[in-house]
Structure 1
Amino acid sequence: MSGLDPYQYIVVEQQYSHKLKVIVLQAENVTKGALGDLLDTPDPYVELFIPTAPESRKRTQHIDNNINPEWNENFEFILDPNQDNVLELTLMDANYVMDETLGSASYNISKLRVGQTELVSFLIGKATNVYLELSVEVCSAMDLRFSLALCDKEKLYRQRRRDRVMLGIKKLLNMEKPCFLPSSPREVPVVAVVGSGGGFRAMVGFSGVMKALYESGVLDCATYVAGLSGSTWYMSTLYSHPEFPQKGPEQINQELMKSVSSNPLRLLLPQHITNYVQALWSKKAGGQPVTFTDIFGMLIGETLIPARMDIKLSELQEKINEAQSPLPLFTCLHVKPDVSELMFADWVEFSPYEIGMAKYGTFMPPDLFGSKFFMGTVVKKYEENPLHFLMGVWGSAFSILFNRVLGVKDVSSGSTMEEELEQIKPEHIVGVDSQDDEEPRKAGVEDDHQHAEASWIQRMVTSLFSDSTLFNTREGRAGKVHNFMLGLNLNASIPFSPFTEIPSPNSPDEEVDAVTDPDEFDRIYEPLDVKSKKIHIVDSGLTFNLPYPLILRPQRGVDLIISFDFSARPSDSSPPFKELLLAEKWARMNKLPFPKIDPKVFDREGMKECYIFKPKKGDKNCPTVIHFVLVNIDFRKFKAPGVPRETEKEKEFADFDIFDDPETPYSTFNFQYSNQAYTQLHDLMEFNTLNNIEVIKEALKDSIVYRKENPSRRSVSLSLNEIQNKKFLKRETRGQAHK
Structure 2
Amino acid sequence: MGINNPISLTNLWYFALDVFGVIAVITHVCLFSLQIENFPCYLFSVKVIQAQNIPAKDLLSGSDCYVSLWLPSSSNMLFVTKAIPNTSNPVWNESFDFLIQPEIKNILELKLYDQDVITKDDLLFTVVYDIAKIRPGDTVYENFILKSEGQASLEVEFKMRSIISDVERLVTNNILVAREVSCLEVQMDKWRNEECLKKHKNIVLLVTESFEEAQKITQDSEIFHFYCVKNWEPMLKVNRKSNSLGKKLFSDTAVGYSGVSLKSLPEGKETKVALPLTKNERLKLQLKVNNCLGALDVRLGCDLCEAEQNFLKKRKNVVANALKKVLQLDQELQRHEVPVLAVMATGGGVRAMSAFYGHLFALQKLNLLDCVTYITGASGSTWTMRNLYEDANWSHKDLMGLIHKARKSITRSKSSAFSMDALKHYDLELQQRIQEGHSISFTDLWSLIIDRMFHDELNDSRLSDQQKAVSVGQNPLPIYVALNVKENSQSSFEFKEWCEFSPYEVGLPKYGGFIPTEDFGSEFFMGWLMKKIPESKICFLEGVWSNIFSLNLVDVWNAAQSLYPLWQLPNPGKEKYDNKDNCPFENELSALKTTCFSPPNDFSNILNRVLTHRPIGGSTPNFLRGLQLHKDYYQHKTFSAWQETKLDQFPNHLTPMEKELCLVDAGYFINTSCPPLLRRERNVDVILSFDYNLVETRFHSIENTCKCCMEKRIPFPEIVLSEEDKKNPKECYVFMDKENPEVPIVLHFPLVDNSFSEHKIPGTKHSSAAMEKGEMDLTSSKSPYRMTNLTYAEDDFDKLLNLCNYNIQNNSELILQALQTAIKRRKCCTKKSQLQSTSSY
**Normalised TM-score (structure 2):** 0.66
Cα separation, partners in 2 of 1:384 and 1:29, compared to 1, 3 Å:
closer
1:151 aligned residue: 305
2:186 aligned residue: 22
Cα separation, partners in 2 of 1:229 and 1:417, compared to 1, 3 Å:
farther
1:373 aligned residue: 524
Cα separation, partners in 2 of 1:311 and 1:713, compared to 1, 3 Å:
farther
Kindly indicate whether residue 304 of structure 2 is the aligned counterpart of residue 185 of structure 1. no
Is contact 1:148–1:361 with CA below 8 Å preserved after alignment?
A: yes
Shift of 1:677: 1.0
1:54 aligned residue: 211
SS at match of 2:480: strand
Cα separation, partners in 2 of 1:603 and 1:243, compared to 1, 3 Å:
closer
2:262 aligned residue: 109
Q: Give the gaps of 5 or more residues in structure 2.
A: 1-127, 131-172, 242-250, 575-608, 834-841
Is contact 1:341–1:543 with CA below 8 Å preserved after alignment?
A: yes
Shift of 1:530: 2.8
Cα separation, partners in 2 of 1:127 and 1:533, compared to 1, 3 Å:
closer
Cα separation, partners in 2 of 1:319 and 1:713, compared to 1, 3 Å:
farther
2:273 aligned residue: 120
Q: Give the gaps of 5 or more residues in structure 1.
A: 34-40, 64-70, 93-100, 404-414, 433-468, 502-511, 513-519, 715-739
Aligned residues: 611
Cα separation, partners in 2 of 1:161 and 1:3, compared to 1, 3 Å:
farther
SS at match of 2:177: coil
Is contact 1:201–1:666 with CA below 8 Å preserved after alignment?
A: yes
1:733 aligned residue: none
Amino acid at match of 1:55: E
SS at match of 2:403: helix
Cα separation, partners in 2 of 1:3 and 1:137, compared to 1, 3 Å:
closer
**Which protein shows a greater Rg?**
2
SS at match of 1:62: coil
Cα separation, partners in 2 of 1:564 and 1:495, compared to 1, 3 Å:
farther
Distance 2:667 2:193 in 1: 63
Higher relative contact order (Cα pairs below 8 Å, separated by 6+ residues)? 1
2:364 aligned residue: 214
Structure 1 residues 411-452: Cα deviation after superposition (integer angstroms, max 9, x where no partner):
xxxx999659979x9999xx99xxxxxxxxxxxxxxxxxxxx
Kindly indicate whether residue 702 of structure 2 is the aligned counterpart of residue 563 of structure 1. no
Kindly indicate whether residue 375 of structure 2 is the aligned counterpart of residue 225 of structure 1. yes
Distance 1:552 1:493 in 2: 20
**Mapping for residues 516-555 of structure 1, pairs under 5 Å:** 521-523=644-646, 525-526=648-649, 528-555=654-681
1:646 aligned residue: 767
Structure 1 residues 280-336: Cα deviation after superposition (integer angstroms, max 9, x where no partner):
245457664432111111111122234353211111110111110000010000111
**Mapping for residues 277-356 of structure 1, pairs under 5 Å:** 277=427, 279-281=429-431, 283-284=433-434, 288-336=438-486, 337-356=488-507
Cα separation, partners in 2 of 1:416 and 1:252, compared to 1, 3 Å:
farther
**Mapping for residues 610-629 of structure 1, pairs under 5 Å:** 610-617=732-739, 619-629=740-750
SS at match of 2:339: coil
SS at match of 2:802: helix
Q: CA RMSD, aligned part only? A: 4.1
Distance 1:523 1:642 in 2: 53
SS at match of 2:361: helix
Kindly indicate whether residue 818 of structure 2 is the aligned counterpart of residue 699 of structure 1. yes
Shift of 1:691: 1.3
**Normalised TM-score (structure 1):** 0.74
Distance 1:713 1:48 in 2: 65
Distance 2:728 2:287 in 1: 77
SS at match of 1:561: strand
**Mapping for residues 90-109 of structure 1, pairs under 5 Å:** 106-109=259-262
1:474 aligned residue: 614
Distance 1:702 1:204 in 2: 31
Is contact 2:687–2:747 with CA below 8 Å preserved after alignment?
A: yes
**Mapping for residues 1-40 of structure 1, pairs under 5 Å:** 11-28=175-192, 30-31=194-195
Is contact 2:416–2:453 with CA below 8 Å preserved after alignment?
A: no
SS at match of 1:207: helix
Cα separation, partners in 2 of 1:249 and 1:500, compared to 1, 3 Å:
same
Is contact 2:175–2:639 with CA below 8 Å preserved after alignment?
A: no
1:659 aligned residue: 779
Whose strand fraction is larger, Structure 1's or Structure 2's?
2
1:357 aligned residue: 508
**Mapping for residues 406-445 of structure 1, pairs under 5 Å:** 419=560
Structure 1 residues 644-693: Cα deviation after superposition (integer angstroms, max 9, x where no partner):
22372x32332112123x53200011111111111110111011111111
Kindly indicate whether residue 708 of structure 2 is the aligned counterpart of residue 586 of structure 1. yes
Aligned-residue sequence identity (percent) comes to: 29
Cα separation, partners in 2 of 1:416 and 1:318, compared to 1, 3 Å:
farther
1:437 aligned residue: none
Shift of 1:103: 8.3
Cα separation, partners in 2 of 1:28 and 1:127, compared to 1, 3 Å:
farther
Is contact 2:186–2:288 with CA below 8 Å preserved after alignment?
A: yes
Distance 1:130 1:499 in 2: 49
2:354 aligned residue: 204
Structure 1 residues 327-350: Cα deviation after superposition (integer angstroms, max 9, x where no partner):
001000011133221232100001
Is contact 2:346–2:691 with CA below 8 Å preserved after alignment?
A: yes
Is contact 1:562–1:627 with CA below 8 Å preserved after alignment?
A: yes
Kindly indicate whether residue 825 of structure 2 is the aligned counterpart of residue 669 of structure 1. no
Shift of 1:397: 1.7
Distance 2:708 2:660 in 1: 26
Shift of 1:480: 1.1
Cα separation, partners in 2 of 1:499 and 1:386, compared to 1, 3 Å:
closer
Amino acid at match of 1:112: L
Is contact 2:176–2:628 with CA below 8 Å preserved after alignment?
A: yes
Shift of 1:29: 6.2
Distance 1:418 1:691 in 2: 33
Shift of 1:42: 7.4
Shift of 1:375: 1.1
Distance 2:636 2:341 in 1: 21
Structure 1 residues 682-721: Cα deviation after superposition (integer angstroms, max 9, x where no partner):
111011111111110110000001111112899xxxxxxx
Distance 2:655 2:612 in 1: 23
SS at match of 2:790: coil
SS at match of 1:474: coil
Distance 2:509 2:457 in 1: 34
Shift of 1:89: 3.6
Deviates more, 1:668-677 or 1:336-345: 336-345
1:76 alignment partner, one of 204, 210, 225: 225
2:161 aligned residue: none
Is contact 2:239–2:252 with CA below 8 Å preserved after alignment?
A: yes
Structure 1 residues 134-183: Cα deviation after superposition (integer angstroms, max 9, x where no partner):
22213433111100010000000000100110011112112x4x4xx653
Structure 1 residues 258-299: Cα deviation after superposition (integer angstroms, max 9, x where no partner):
111222233134663464255324545766443211111111
SS at match of 1:668: coil
SS at match of 1:311: coil
Distance 1:596 1:151 in 2: 31
1:131 alignment partner, one of 253, 271, 285: 285
Distance 1:16 1:283 in 2: 33
Amino acid at match of 1:624: I
